[in-house]
């Protein structure tokens, strides 16, 4: 491993994105890229400041984040509990796993027409879509995590007098945790994608609503701003998930610092 | 302390008859070794004694009335430490308190490692932690399933000393499964040779402890080895 190379540091990976943004700005200012096609980074930032001053930015980000959190919580809880029951109780696995695996193959965004007919285009439709999208990755990873916990450790726990509850909290759950966290990170990605799609179908408030109205008024700077906002929120949630990973898996040398 | 009494014990997995008609009485406080070829049913016998497997026929009893399964501990070939718990927490499981866990770690000479993670320890150290975990609850019966099989020769000798010393001090009833005849003669009062699911030999070892590899030692060793190989 070449660890001490000049390019192996915190700053170098940021070089390329910075160059691209500068290039984009320069090309825009020279009118080589028309601002009706793609506004310059400065114009996007200006749009952000403008909307921040009117308060629209914060409000819409808040609305979207709230939808994401509620949808993720509902879908995550259902997926986790299903995974838990199916992973530990054979009866539930035999009863439901095949059905879940079948439903799972439907792309959840294909449900949109149905969801609109069921819920209209209000809040519940968006939260429902996010929850459905989140449920499956969490379910699958929780289930397989529990299934793959080392049987020998469970046997040891039994021999050493652990109660059922202790077996669960001390062996099964921590053993399944790496998989569960993989599911959570994947599900976070699904959350934002579901929301982006859901919010463009007649939303009241939210980043998608911002994007739709901006498109109608040909405000290219705001359209690009909304894309950037989604990217930032996605990155931020991934960052939080990574922090959780580092905390919960600190026993694992791969996640231990230094 | 309590002993173990097996009467006409048989154990089958489907059509595979692994143990047949085992009669064995293990007095409390004794040290018994079980040797035999790989696959002859040693682990199965140990798991039957621990109550992890039900017998197909015959009966198993713990002598001395009030004995419970919870007074039995097993030390496995692999350490089976929980990777997500510190060394101390690994020993303090199943109702064992922190104080008792610390004392047990001190006995195996690892009190300095109590805050480490298991993967920061060597194989020998991990097995010492497993031994501390087995001892921490002051068990009446300690079953060893080839616990030293994966260790290098030197570490193995150290562990043998440690186990012998702790047994002499605490007098738990010990049953050691091993494929190493020398280890069996070194540690046990009595060596049992298992073959084709039955007891082929039941040999008392009358040697003073700490045992040296003298002429008597090697003659016991040869005697037992011949029985295993020759049948
Ligand atoms: N849970 C089980 N299910 C089916 N067969 C088993 C099981 N455990 C052990 N056996 C069989 O019992 C025999 C003896 O195994 P074991 O007691 O592990 O032998 P040893 O410890 O002497 O090497 C082997 O043939 C093994 O395949
Ligand atoms: Mg075995």
Give the pLDDT confidence of A224-234 residue by residue, as tens digits: 999 999 999 99
Compute, in angstroms, the gap from residue B48 CA to the centroid of ligand 2. 13
Where residue A88 falls (left for φ over 0; alpha for ψ -120 to 50; beta otherwise) is: alpha
Task: Give domain B1-67+140-211's CATH architecture.
Answer: 3-Layer(aba) Sandwich (3.40)
The set of residues, in sequence order, having a beta carbon less than 8 Å from that of B135 and lying 6+ positions away, is B73, B104, B107, B108, B142, B166, B170
- Cβ atoms of B116 and A256 within 8 Å: the answer is no
- pLDDT of res. B64: 72
Cβ A170–B93 below 8 Å, yes or no?
A: yes
**What does the alpha-carbon distance between residue B143 and residue A205 come to, in Å, rounded to a whole number?**
67
Grouping H, G, I as helix, E, B as strand and the rest as coil, residue B173 is: strand
Question: Quick one: which ligand is closest to B47's CA?
Answer: 1
Report the nearest-CA residue for atom 2 of ligand 1: B13
Pairing of the two strands B16-26 and B3-13: antiparallel
Domains, chain A, in order of start with CATH, read 62-248 (1.10.3720.10)
Q: What is the pLDDT of residues B52-64, one digit of tens each?
A: 899 999 998 887 7
Q: Could you give the CA distance from residue B224 to residue B205 in angstroms, rounded to a whole number?
A: 11
CB-closest option in B84, B94, B133 to A174 = B84
Q: What are the residue boundaries of the structural domains of chain B, listed by start?
A: 1-67+140-211, 82-137
CA distance A130 to A198: 8
What pLDDT does A258 receive? 47
CA contacts within 13 A on the Cβ side of B37: 14
Structure confidence at residue A1 (pLDDT): 56
Tell me the average confidence (pLDDT) per consecutive run of 10 residues in chain A, 258 residues long.
77 91 92 86 94 95 96 97 94 92 90 90 92 96 96 93 93 96 95 91 85 91 94 93 91 76
Q: Which pLDDT belongs to residue A62? A: 96
Nearest chain A alpha carbon to B89? A170
- Output the average pLDDT for chain B: 91
In this structure, which ligand is nearest to the CA of B35? 1
Per the confidence metrics, is the pTM higher than 0.80?
yes
Which of B73, B82, B119 lies closest to A153 in CB terms? B82
Residues 6+ positions from B65 with CB-CB distance below 8 Å? none
Task: Compute the average pLDDT of residues B164-174.
Answer: 93
Q: A27 — phi, psi (to 5°)?
A: -60, -35
């Amino acid at each position: 491993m070449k660890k001490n190379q000049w390019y192996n540091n915190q700053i170098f990976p940021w070089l390329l994105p910075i160059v691209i943004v500068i290039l984009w700005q320069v090309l825009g200012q020279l009118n080589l890229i028309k601002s009706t096609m793609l506004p310059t980074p400065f114009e996007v930032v200006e749009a952000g400041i403008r909307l921040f001053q009117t308060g629209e930015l914060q409000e819409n980000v808040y609305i979207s984040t709230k939808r994401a959190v509620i949808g993720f919580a509902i879908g995550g809880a259902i997926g986790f509990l299903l995974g838990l029951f199916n992973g530990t109780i054979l009866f539930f696995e035999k009863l439901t796993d095949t059905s879940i695996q079948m439903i799972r193959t439907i792309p959840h965004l294909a449900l949109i027409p149905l969801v609109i007919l069921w819920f209209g285009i209000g809040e519940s439709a968006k939260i429902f879509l996010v929850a459905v999208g989140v449920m499956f990755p969490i379910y699958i990873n929780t289930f397989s995590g529990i299934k793959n916990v080392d049987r020998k450790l469970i046997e040891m726990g039994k021999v050493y007098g652990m109660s059922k509850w202790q077996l669960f909290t001390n062996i099964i759950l921590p053993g399944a945790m790496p998989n569960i966290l993989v599911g959570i990170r994947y599900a976070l990605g699904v959350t934002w994608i579901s929301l982006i799609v859901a919010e463009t179908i007649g939303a009241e408030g939210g980043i998608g609503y911002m994007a739709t109205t901006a498109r109608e008024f040909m405000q290219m700077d705001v359209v690009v701003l909304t894309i950037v906002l989604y990217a930032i929120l996605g990155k931020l949630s991934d960052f939080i998930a990574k922090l959780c990973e580092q905390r919960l898996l600190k026993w694992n040398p791969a996640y231990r610092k230094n | 302390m309590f002993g173990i009494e097996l009467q006409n014990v048989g154990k089958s997995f489907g059509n595979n008859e692994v143990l047949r008609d085992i009669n064995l009485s293990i007095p409390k406080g004794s040290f018994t070794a079980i040797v035999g070829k790989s696959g002859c049913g040693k682990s199965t016998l140990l798991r039957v004694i621990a109550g992890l497997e039900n017998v197909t026929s015959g009966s198993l009893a713990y002598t001395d009335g009030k004995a419970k399964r919870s007074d039995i501990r097993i030390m496995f070939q692999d350490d089976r430490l929980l990777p997500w718990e510190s060394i101390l927490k690994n020993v303090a499981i199943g109702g064992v308190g922190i104080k008792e866990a610390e004392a047990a770690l001190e006995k195996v000479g690892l009190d300095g490692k109590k805050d480490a993670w298991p993967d920061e320890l060597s194989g020998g150290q991990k097995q010492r932690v497993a031994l501390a975990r087995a001892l921490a609850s002051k068990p009446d019966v300690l079953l060893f399933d080839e616990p030293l099989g994966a260790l290098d020769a030197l570490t193995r000798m150290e562990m043998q000393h440690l186990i012998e010393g702790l047994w002499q001090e605490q007098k738990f009833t010990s049953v050691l499964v091993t494929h190493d005849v020398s280890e069996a003669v070194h540690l046990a009062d009595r060596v049992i040779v298992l073959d084709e699911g039955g007891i082929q030999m039941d040999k008392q070892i009358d040697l003073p402890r700490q045992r040296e590899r003298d002429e008597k030692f090697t003659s016991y060793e040869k005697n037992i080895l011949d029985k295993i190989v020759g049948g």
